[in-house]
Amino acid sequence: MKKVFIVFAFVCFGLISNAQRSEIGGMVGTSFYMGDLNPRTLFPNFQTCGGIIYRYNFNPRWAFKSNILFAQVEASDKLTNNNYSRNLSFRSPITEISAQVELNFLELYNIPARNHFTPYIYTGITVFSFNPQAEYNGIYYDLQSLGTEGQGLEGQPEPYSLVSVAIPFGLGIKFNAGKYVSLGLEWGMRYTFTDYLDDVSGVYIDNEFLKFQKGNVVAQLADRSVVKNEAGTQRGNSHTLDWYSFAVFTATFKIGNEDTSCRIRYNLKPKMNNSGYKY
């Protein structure tokens, strides 16, 4: 993950060198998750998220955007899935780095007498880290290292990775508020390539065997039902992958946006002052 952050920083630094088309700023909003513990509900038990944005405007229609976002998602069978018998729950911090392409529905300009707002859509690629945790007797435990579905034991799968890839896509609206500021609202989904954002995917392993191998805490976190499930019983749906989502307010500041460059770029006619000189 550290190497990805370094690459992201170098890319942004290189693009900022052409400051006429650059914007940098931040975002704040809400985040939520969809998966085994929340199969269908939008914005349940949403959490606060925030991050930084860099945008490079190729022209009034197309832009490249990159962001670093920090969030937390959580869900429980009792609150978001009506599955009281399974009784699983989790929370997970998320850090994502995303590279996206934006398509404006309207041509967006930053000069007088031109359009100053537009809806847009976007897609791209995201790399993110996560770390599902669950509470037991007032203490939160990192679930991946415990192997609640038997990961790491002989004959069982290896522990899943805490870094994965997602495809971001969504829509928004942005508005040029004056010469140097752009404001916007954006909602997007992340289709991930992991089914373990919530630490739930496969089948139950024998609870007594898990207790013998890894201890009582792991056994309790693996199966929180009153009546323990038989080994091989489905614990999650391994045929579907997890999602997470952000809805954010954005504010960016334009770097070195000069009127002269705008006139050249958009073929505006030069003006005459009282002395007859062009400017």
Mean pLDDT of 99-103: 97
Domains of the chain: 2-203+237-265 (2.40.160.20)
pLDDT value, residue 126: 98
pLDDT tens, residue by residue, 125-152: 999 999 999 999 999 999 999 999 999 9
Mean pLDDT of 70-99: 93
Yes or no: say if 190 and 130 are a contact pair by the CB < 8 Å rule. no
CA quadruple 265, 266, 270, 271: dihedral sign: negative
Mean pLDDT of 79-107: 93
- At 35, which amino acid appears? G
Mean pLDDT of the chain: 87
pLDDT value, residue 19: 45
115 has pLDDT over 50: yes
Dihedral of the alpha carbons of 260, 261, 262, 267, in degrees to the nearest 10 = 90
Mean pLDDT of 40-44: 91
Backbone angles phi, psi at 146, to 5 degrees: -80, -30
What residue has token string 């930053």? Answer: 110
Mean pLDDT of 176-189: 93
pTM: 0.82
Q: Among 13-17, 163-167, 184-188, which stretch is predicted with the lowest mean pLDDT?
A: 13-17
Most confident segment among 13-22, 128-137, 177-186: 128-137
Mean pLDDT of 243-248: 97
Yes or no: say if 105 and 75 are a contact pair by the CB < 8 Å rule. no
Residues ≥6 apart with Cβ < 8 Å to 92: 33, 72, 73, 74, 130, 131, 132, 133, 197, 198
pLDDT tens, residue by residue, 47-70: 999 999 999 999 999 999 999 999
pLDDT value, residue 262: 39
Mean pLDDT of 29-55: 94
261 has pLDDT over 50: no
Question: SS3 sequence, the chain?
Answer: CHHHHHHHHHHHHHHHCCHHHEEEEEEEEEEEEEECCECCCCCCCCEEEEEEEEEEECCCCEEEEEEEEEEEEEEEHHHHHCCCCCCCEEEEEEEEEEEEEEEECCCCCCCCCCCCEEEEEEEEEEEEEECCEEEECCEEEECCCCCCCCCCCCCCCCCCCCEEEEEEEEEEEEEECCCCEEEEEEEEEEEECCCCCCCCCCECCCHHHHHHHHCHHHHHHHCCCCCCCCCCCECCCCCCCCEEEEEEEEEEEECCCCHHHHHHHCCCCCCECCCCCEC
11 has pLDDT over 60: no
pLDDT value, residue 80: 87
> Band of the pLDDT at 45, cuts 50, 70, 90?
confident
266 has pLDDT over 50: no
93 has pLDDT over 50: yes
